[in-house]
């Protein structure tokens, strides 16, 4: 290679180039041989393996698939060496040449590294300046069948400097409530520790940006006002530059006003900063609906699981509060869980005059853990006897079983290949006794009783898990006995829903995570679904659960448009968020299509099917009539058919200035019975 080009390449300083972070479901363009690497990246520790730690994100290469005895290779597609240093995280066996990672140029191994007989991944890497501009491949090998016969690799990154270098440090005197951290999605994840008085108080991974941040994440440092915080990050030199960019402020830092960002949903809950997934700890207490949620405060993608927290008095307007649960330590994350009001103080956790809130969550390092709050959910304490249940599983759902006067924990449990919900009972939320399991449910259970057709004497129990599909049955406090097959209510972007414990007036109010609602370029990502009220209704198919947006949403309704005096459907402009109600007789039509902000909501009269984009649900007319309710927002459309007999959640980024709507009947006549359209005002105003 030409010497000038080499010099030019090496002189170039540039962003780090991530060759692979192994966050996908499969290995993409990488080639696998043998069985050791499985069919795709592992999500952490594999069965019978000692705990694997230190890797960043969710996935990594882990050749322990099939145990130590299995062998194989994993080879990257060819790539060009464009930076001085090729870095990676490595753990697993120390068998040079047999378990490790190689760099090949022209088919020859030019660099090699092996593990340290340790399941913890550490940064390692090579100076590859002499190969600048050359095409190379990385090969990860496991050829050892005895003890420590496996390798773990993550985060293969080209950068201008080695990641092995020692920590970069910055000391900051904490004067203001928030530290602002520059973040850009796609940069390598670095571990950042914040220490005060020598103790690590915050410890997380972050895509720290030395320049051009996509947004500013924040650390709430009010607890240490006036003290000196040490920020410590491991990584190449530009991590130090990024630390220099950290600022302090009274408010969150950003270019757009908070909640006024161009793609911020107007009627759906989003976090002010960072990622959210599952709703957690949903409980009604003293006039407030509490919504906790799986939260990465420091990134746009999943990671660093905390419990974020927001409260609402009306299910429409939410106020975000400080983070409720921090991870116990790096790698021991606060996964999903639930909360109840312990009105009888069975737990003995109550300290003041107010009822105590008790929560259960999965600590990924310990098991199912109990926390409690004596200040209306603002701050939480760990029960000293944690964990209370240890098993392979997660996502404890607490509930009060009135008939047997005990607490129940429904929790996702894995036994071998079986995916089950396990039921445990307790008199005091502290000691738990295993009772039974039911097979065929995956993650995030919810369990509650619903009156059939409003008649409490005819109530049934509903059991569901993360995909929202439910079974009706009976529950005696110990065992769930289904009396029918699984049913589907929700279709599309809807996952890991929960219902509020102790909602007033016996309402059963559910909020799901609208999984897959991406907000590119925004300082936040993902949204919750609109809160819905669940009911159990007799239908032509038997008893079925229905979902309709809570009536409180109607408070956001503004301008109304309706059928013209001669019965023509309105069309024209709607608000960025809008609420549309429509009923029609499919008659001789083939399709009735409602276009909202560029998205088609289609009723196919031949197939008797309601659909939008790739989400579809069966829906037959009732008495010849189809009824639709459509809620549109900046990032989604939710559609409720026949008074909530089916519910569809569709992720769809609306074009900002497309505010059109129109109704179209194709292939025949479909008399419109009613059509009402409201603009909705922002819930954040």
The radius of gyration computed from the CA coordinates of the chain, to the nearest angstrom, equals 27
The residues of the shown chain that bind ligand FRU, judged by CB under 6 A, are: 277-278, 294, 305, 335-336, 362, 394-395, 443-444, 466, 496
Give the integer Cα–Cα distance in Å for 607 and 622. 15
> Least separation, in Å, of the C-beta of 442 and ligand FRU?
8
> Least separation, in Å, of the C-beta of 181 and ligand FRU?
21
> Least separation, in Å, of the C-beta of 490 and ligand FRU?
15
Please, are residues 233 and 172 in contact by the beta-carbon 8 Å criterion? no
501, β-bridge pairs: 283
> Least separation, in Å, of the C-beta of 393 and ligand FRU?
9
> Least separation, in Å, of the C-beta of 465 and ligand FRU?
9
Beta-carbon-side half-sphere exposure of residue 396 (alpha carbons within 13 Å): 31
Give the integer Cα–Cα distance in Å for 675 and 592. 13
User: What is the chain's percent helix, strand, coil content, to nearest 5?
Assistant: 5, 50, 45
DSSP letters for 327-378 = -SBTTB-EEEEEEEEETT-TTS---SSSPEEEEEEEETTTEEEEEEESSTTS
Of residues 294 and 611, the one with the C-beta less far from ligand FRU: 294
* Active-site residue flag, 212: no
100, β-bridge pairs: 114, 141
Of residues 295 and 460, the one with the C-beta less far from ligand FRU: 295
> Least separation, in Å, of the C-beta of 488 and ligand FRU?
18
Q: Which of 124, 154, 278, 604 is catalytic?
A: 278
Of residues 205 and 395, the one with the C-beta less far from ligand FRU: 395
Of residues 88 and 470, the one with the C-beta less far from ligand FRU: 470
Give the integer Cα–Cα distance in Å for 269 and 635. 11
Q: What is the torsional sign of CA 38, 39, 45, 48?
A: negative
CA angle 622, 628, 631 (to 5 degrees): 160
Note every long-range contact of 21-24, with CB atoms under 8 Å and residues 24 or more positions apart, other chains counting: 21/56, 21/57, 21/59, 21/154, 21/155, 21/156, 21/188, 21/189, 22/57, 22/59, 22/60, 22/61, 22/153, 22/154, 22/155, 23/57, 23/58, 23/59, 23/301, 24/59
> Least separation, in Å, of the C-beta of 91 and ligand FRU?
23
Extract the tokens encoding 629: 């309710």
Q: How many helices (H) and strands (E) does the chain have?
A: 2, 52
> Least separation, in Å, of the C-beta of 299 and ligand FRU?
13
Of residues 309 and 597, the one with the C-beta less far from ligand FRU: 309
End-to-end CA distance of the chain: 61
Of residues 43 and 143, the one with the C-beta less far from ligand FRU: 43
Beta-carbon-side half-sphere exposure of residue 82 (alpha carbons within 13 Å): 13
Q: Looking at the annotation, which residues are catalytic?
A: 278
């Amino acid at each position: 290679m030409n010497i000038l080009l080499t010099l030019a390449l090496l002189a170039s300083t540039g962003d780090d180039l991530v060759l692979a972070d192994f966050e996908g479901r499969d290995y993409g363009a990488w080639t696998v041989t043998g069985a050791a690497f499985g069919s795709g990246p592992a999500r952490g520790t594999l069965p019978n393996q000692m705990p694997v730690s230190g890797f960043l994100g969710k996935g990594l290469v882990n050749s322990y698939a099939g145990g130590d005895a299995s062998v194989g290779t994993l080879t990257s597609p060819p790539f060009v060496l464009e930076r001085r240093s090729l870095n990676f995280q490595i753990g697993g066996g120390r068998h040079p040449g047999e378990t490790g990672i190689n760099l090949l140029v022209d088919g020859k191994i030019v660099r090699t590294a092996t593990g340290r007989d340790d399941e913890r991944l550490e940064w390692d890497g090579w100076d590859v300046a002499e190969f600048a501009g050359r095409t190379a491949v990385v090969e990860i090998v496991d050829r050892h069948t005895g003890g420590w016969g496996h390798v773990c690799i993550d985060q293969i990154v080209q950068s201008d400097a080695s990641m092995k270098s020692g920590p970069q440090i910055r000391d900051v005197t904490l004067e203001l409530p928030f530290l602002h951290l520059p973040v850009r999605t796609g940069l390598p994840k670095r571990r950042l520790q914040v220490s005060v008085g020598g103790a690590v108080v915050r410890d997380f991974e972050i895509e720290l940006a030395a320049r051009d941040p996509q947004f500013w994440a924040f650390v709430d440092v009010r607890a240490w006002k006036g003290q000196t915080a040490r920020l410590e990050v491991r990584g190449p030199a530009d991590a130090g530059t990024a630390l220099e960019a950290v600022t302090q402020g009274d408010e969150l830092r950003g270019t757009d006003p908070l909640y006024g960002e161009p793609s911020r949903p107007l009627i759906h809950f989003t976090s002010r900063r960072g990622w959210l997934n599952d709703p957690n700890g949903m409980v009604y207490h003293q006039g407030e609906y509490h919504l906790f949620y799986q939260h990465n405060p420091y990134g746009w993608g999943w990671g660093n699981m905390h419990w974020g927290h927001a409260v609402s008095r009306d299910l429409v307007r939410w106020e975000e509060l400080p983070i409720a649960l921090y991870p116990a330590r790096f790698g021991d994350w606060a996964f999903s869980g639930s909360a109840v009001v312990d009105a009888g103080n069975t737990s003995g956790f109550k300290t003041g005059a107010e009822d105590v809130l008790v929560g259960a969550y999965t600590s990924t390092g310990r098991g199912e853990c109990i926390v409690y709050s004596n200040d209306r959910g603002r701050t939480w304490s760990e029960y000293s006897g944690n964990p209370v249940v240890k098993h392979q599983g997660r996502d404890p759902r607490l509930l009060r079983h009135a008939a047997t006067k005990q607490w129940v924990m429904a929790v996702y449990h894995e036994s071998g290949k079986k995916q089950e919900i396990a039921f445990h009972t307790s008199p005091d939320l502290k000691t738990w006794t295993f009772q039974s399991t039911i097979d065929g449910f995956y993650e995030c259970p919810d369990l509650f009783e619903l009156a059939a057709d409003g008649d409490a004497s005819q109530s049934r129990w509903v059991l569901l898990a993360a995909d929202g599909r439910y079974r009706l049955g009976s529950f005696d406090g110990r065992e769930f006995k289904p009396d029918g097959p699984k049913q589907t209510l929700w279709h599309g972007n809807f996952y890991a829903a929960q219902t509020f414990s102790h909602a007033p007036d016996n309402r059963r109010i559910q909020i799901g995570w609208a999984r897959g609602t991406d907000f590119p370029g925004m300082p936040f990502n993902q949204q919750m679904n609109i809160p819905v009220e669940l009911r159990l209704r007799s239908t032509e198919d038997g008893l079925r659960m229905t979902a309709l947006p809570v009536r409180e949403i109607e408070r956001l309704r503004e301008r109304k448009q309706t059928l013209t005096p001669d019965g023509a459907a309105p069309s024209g402009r709607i608000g960025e968020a809008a609420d549309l109600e429509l009923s029609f007789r499919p008659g001789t039509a083939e399709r009735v299509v409602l276009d909202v902000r560029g998205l088609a909501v289609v009723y196919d009269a031949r197939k008797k099917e309601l659909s939008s984009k790739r989400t579809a649900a069966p829906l037959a007319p009732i008495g010849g009539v189809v009824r639709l309710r459509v809620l549109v927002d900046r990032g989604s459309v939710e559609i409720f058919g026949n008074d909530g007999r089916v519910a569809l959640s569709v992720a769809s980024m609306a074009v900002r200035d497309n505010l059109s709507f129109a109704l179209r009947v194709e292939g025949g006549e479909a008399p419109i019975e009613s059509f009402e359209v409201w603009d909705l005002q922002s819930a954040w105003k």
